């Protein structure tokens, strides 16, 4: 694997990590929100 491919792969991993983190934030907003009201109910 040459250096350019390695950089590309690293960047891909970094992008996926950030996307996963942001996705989890969105999901937790949704989950916590519905759960909070369900408990209240």
**Which residues are near other proteins by CB under 8 A?**
11, 14-16, 18-19, 22-23, 25-27, 29-30, 33-34, 37-38, 41
- Output 33-36 pairs: Cβ under 8 A, ≥24 positions apart: none
Nearer to other proteins, 9 or 29 (CB): 29
Residue 39, helix vs strand vs coil: helix
User: C-beta of 27: minimal distance to other proteins in Å?
Assistant: 7
Nearer to other proteins, 9 or 18 (CB): 18
Residue 33 tokens read as: 């929100």
């Amino acid at each position: 694997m040459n250096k350019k491919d390695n950089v590309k792969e690293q960047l891909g991993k970094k992008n996926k990590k950030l996307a996963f983190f942001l996705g989890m934030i969105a999901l937790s907003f949704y989950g916590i929100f519905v759960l909070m009201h369900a408990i209240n109910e």
